[in-house]
Structure 1
Amino acid sequence: MNSNQQISFYIPRMSGKYDKKQVKAIFKHLNIGKVKRVDFTPINKKPGFIEIYDTQNKSAFVHMELLYPNDLTERIFQIVFLQTSGYKIYPENNNIYWLLLKNTYPIQDTLMNKHQIVENCRYLESVVQQQADTIKNLEEKVLGIQSVVYQLVGGLFCPNTQVGSYQVNSNVLFRTEPLLQIKNIPLNTSKWETSPTTRQGDSNENRINSLEFQMKSATKLLSVLSDLMGEKLEAEEDNYSVDLQSISDTEAEYLLEQDHYQNQYYNQDNETTYSSRTHSSMPSLIENYDEADSNSDSSLERRRISSELCGNE
């Protein structure tokens, strides 16, 4: 046992009737050693200023100034400090005992008086208040960020086909437990799986799918109509060929002649009035008639009268 080693015992429970002087006297009476300081605390005291005071029982930290050199102290030191076990002592020579344990974190002595300690506590209270204000401000900022990110997450994933991805990101954002998966229904049914699609993208995708379906339907319908029209035209051509073959040669010649007259009549209606050749089917006869008429007496007389009346040559 090292005499320079700091010895401190922890007594988990003792009667509330004992005070510091009595504890010091009992340790001296049992020939254990000289007590330097005794600190009383409530049983199972937690760190901080909050305490539950029990007048019936309390705990004690006994700080030793020295241990007396004898067989008892050697045995106590061996069991408590080397074996980290407990040793029982009987303060009143009856069945009531104190259990001596090793004080793992002994409180060091201080030169500060109670006024200095109170002043330090006031300073710590001001620091704690500043930190509380900072924490409150940060909490409000975090709530705002969570609200914005929650809106973004809701817009990134389709609420109908990407419920799983939406819920996972929401759980990470708010640190909540994942909801139970609906039985026999997969949470993600989108073909894009966990990739964000955005609500606008989902809407556009649905519109594109609808347009593609309509175009495919229209293409299929046009193909069917084209086939039907082709079959109808082929049938009409076959019927026309059969009709031509069934008529006689005389009837065919008559039809061709009628068609020739119709074309000739159509061409005469479209001819201009400034060409005498295009208004007659016999231009040579018209020229000969004009030459004969210009040399006759009646023609000369008509020209003279026209010249006197109109000044024509």
Structure 2
Amino acid sequence: MKTLVVVSDVHYAGPTEMARKGFEARSIQNPFQRALAQTYRGLVWMRDPLAHNGQFDKFLAAAGDPDLVVGNGDYSVDSAFVGLADDGVFETVAWCLDELRGRHGERFHSTIGDHELGKMNLLGGAGGLRLESYRRATERLGLKRFWTIEVGSYLLVGVTSTLVALPIYAPEILPEERRGWEELRAAHLEEVRRAFASLRPAQRVLLFAHDPTALPFLAQVDEVRRHLDQVERTIVGHLHSNCILRQGEMLAGMPNITFLGNSIRRYSAALRRARDWKPFHLLLCPSVSGIQWRKDGGFLRIELEEEARQPLNVTLHPLPWD
């Protein structure tokens, strides 16, 4: 039996990011959209994204000494909305990774989240993807866009959801960087194809993707579609709370909303195809803080029976707010 711990959406703020209080409100020029964003953040999502560093400290203390640790992306608050290309965000993510690697060494693996690569802010039009963020993630911080780990009959597979779901992010890409992103996506999908094509009949897949928006695009890959019956669970983050996941599943098939900014366009486009999540057997790892409405942060502990003769034993460990 092997023990796997999964943590996602740490959203830590290092010293530089901590000094940017009110960063999101300042980034939205339209007063109506600014008020709408602040109301949503205050009541539902997270009133003060800079006030919860202690949740990561609680996770580090509670994680123990498992056989494997997977970080499922989004280590910073991405206060400049361009990912690791911003020095303050880089400072935050580097610190978080140093803490995790210092405790768990080569047992730690990580996917790359959208906050690492950049994305436009909620309702406003600031920020977006930056190739420099990808370069810093892979070359300076040692994050891998794709990885596999064999644990007995299980194959753990980590993918970069932003690359897989790149068509959703197209309006947030700088024109001069579009070709570079498309080349990265093509190479990444080829890695995915090879991994699924080489699955042995008895293997079971644990798939790690930060954002479930990627799953309908993975389902279009022939090699993935043919082996979906071997996907035991797909562990995602991004949604922060099982409450949000349930609402997303209820809104599956909704129309695209294009008049409230890129983030709402992106969310609605993802939910329009959310029915395609079902064959992937989603398991959400909440953020360490959860959401303002529920205060339901936590992390996952998964017991793997190496011969895969028993179902996964999944425990959600809550991380209560002070």
Q: TM-score scaled to structure 1, two decimals?
A: 0.15
Q: TM-score scaled to structure 2, two decimals?
A: 0.15
Whichever of the two has the greater Rg, that structure is: 1
Higher relative contact order (CA 8 A, sep 6+): 2
User: Normalized per residue, which structure has more helix?
Assistant: 1
